[in-house]
Chains A and B, each alone.
Chain A
Amino acid sequence: MADKNAILAGLAEIVEEETGLETDEVQLDKSFTEDLDIDSISMMTIVVNAEEKFDVKIPDEEVKNLTTVGDAVDYISNAAG
C-alpha cells in the first residue's frame, strides 16, 4: 500500500501544473468538478500524468468514478498496491 500522503502531494502537483490551482487547495474531500472546476479534458490530462507518475493504470471507465481527490488517491493507492 503506497503512502496516501505522498500520493496526495504528487497528485496536487499534477493538478497545479495543469490548472494553476495552489497545491494546498487540492484536498481529499474536494470534488474535481464541483470544487476545483476541472473539466473532462483537464481530468484526462491529470489521469494520464498520474498514471506516469505513480506507474499505475487508470482505465477510462474508472475515471468517472473518481469524484473527489480522495477517490483518486484511494484508487492510485490500491492500484499501486
Chain B
Amino acid sequence: MSKRLVITGLGATTPLGGDVTSTWDAALAGTAGAKTLEHDWVEQYQLPVTFAAEVAVEPAQVISRPETRRMDRSTQLGMIAAREAWADAGLTDVELDGERLGVSFATGIGGVWTLLDSWDTLREKGPRRVLPMTVPMLMPNGASGAISLAFGAQAGARTAVSACASGVEALIMAMDMLRAGDVDVVLAGGTEAAIHPLPLAAFANMQALSRRNDDPGAASRPYDVDRDGFVMGEGAGALIIETQEHAEARGAAVYAELAGGAVTSDAHHLTAPDPEGRGATRALRRALLSAEASEEDVTHVNAHATSTPLGDVPEYTAMKAVFGAHLDSVCVSATKSQTGHLLGAAGAVESVLTVKALADRKAPVTINLENQDPKIPLDVVSGSPRDLGSGQQVGICSSFGFGGHNAVAAFRSA
C-alpha cells in the first residue's frame, strides 16, 4: 500500500473567477469565459481569431506593482493561485520545515509576454533598455522558482513542461516526490498566460482554434458536432498535497486524496493524437493501478476535451477501452467549454475542479452541448450539475499535450 497523499488546499485564478469559490460557483452554473478581445493588437495584426478566455480578475488588481514588474504574467497568475492554496490549507501561520517542502509547478509556454516584449524593446530602443530581469522572468521555471522563494520550499522546485499535459504532470511529479519520502508537503499546480498575438496567430494557422468570432461564448463546445477548435484561455490552479500523516498531525481539513497518476507518451505524431488513443489508454490504466482503484470505483471524469474535431474522439476511445460497460456509469465534465483551454494550466485548474467535485459531490456542467457527436456517446454532464451521491469514489482528470504527452491523475473522495 502506497503512502496516502491528501489535498488540503486549493487555489485558482481563471476566466471564471479570481479564486476557487468564484470559479467553482461559475463552473456549476455554466459560464462562458471566452469574450471578444479588446486589445489594440487584435486589429493591428488583423488576427484571424479575435476572442479568448482571459482571467476574470487582472493580476495587477491582486498583487503589488513591484511584483508585476519582476514576474511575467504567467508567474503572477501562478503566485496568486499558490497564495490562495497556501492560505486555504491553513499554512499561513504554520512553521513548516522548508527542507521537507517542495514545489512542482507547470507551464506550457512560460514567459512568452516577457520574451516578446523584450524583443520589441531591443528592436525599438536598443540593447541597453532590455531589463536585467528579462531571462529569469521568461524562463519556464520562473513560476516554480518564485513560488519556492515565496514559501521557503527547499526540497526542490520542479517544473513540468509537457504542453497541455503539464498541469497534471506537475501533480504526478509532486506525487512521486511525496511517495519517495523526500518531502511532507508539495505546492503543486500550473499556470499559463499566453494570450498574445504570436501564439494566437500560430495556433490559428495550425487550424487548432475555433473561428467563431461572432459568438465567443459558444465557441468552446467539446463533444458537439459543430465544434471547430479550442479557445485560448489563461489562468492558474494550485493544490497543497501532503502525506496523510503530516495533514493529520497538524489537524488539516482534507478535500480528497491524490490516489494515483501516470504519464505516458504516444510516440505517434508530434501534434496529432493517436487516433486509437493508445497512449491515453495506457495512462488511464496505469493511473488506476497507481491509485489501487478498479474501473468500477470511478464515477466522474474531468476530460481533456478541448473541442477540436480531431482530439475529442480518441479520448472517448481510450475511456471506452478502459471502462468498458462501466463507462455508462461515469459522468464526464468538459469544463474547457467554460474556461477555454488553459494549456499548461489546464490540468491544474481541472484537477482543482475534480477535487471540488469529489468534495462537494457535484460534477460541473459542460456548456454549448447542443448536438452531441454520435461518435462520442459519453454521459456528459450538461444543463445542470450532476449529483455524485455518497460513498467513496474516484474522480479522474486527464490531460494530453503536443509532443504526444498523456497525463492522468486519480483522486479519491475523502
| Chain A residues packing against B (C-beta within 8 Å) | 17-20, 41, 44-45, 48, 51-52
Contact = CB atoms under 8 A, between A and B. Distances in A.
Contacts of B131: 45, 48
B132 A20 contact: no
Nearest to A57: B128
A62 B311 CA distance: 58
A19 B133 CA distance: 13
22 contacts: A17-B65, A17-B66, A17-B69, A18-B66, A18-B69, A19-B66, A20-B64, A20-B65, A20-B66, A41-B132, A41-B133, A44-B132, A45-B131, A45-B132, A45-B133, A48-B128, A48-B129, A48-B131, A48-B132, A51-B128, A52-B125, A52-B129
A51 B129 CA distance: 9
Majority secondary structure, B binding face: helix
Interface of B: 64-66, 69, 125, 128-129, 131-133
A27 B225 CA distance: 66
Kindly list the 7 A-B residue pairs having the minimum CB-CB distance in the complex, ordered from nearest.
Answer: A20-B66, A44-B132, A41-B132, A19-B66, A20-B64, A45-B131, A45-B132
Contacts of A48: 128-129, 131-132
Contacts of A44: 132
Contacts of B66: 17-20
A48 B130 CA distance: 8
A41 B131 CA distance: 9
Contacts of A19: 66
Nearest to A43: B132
A53 B377 CA distance: 63
Contacts of B128: 48, 51
A8 B133 CA distance: 24
B142 to A, nearest CB: 14
Nearest to B67: A20
Contacts of A51: 128
Nearest to B65: A20
Nearest to A58: B128
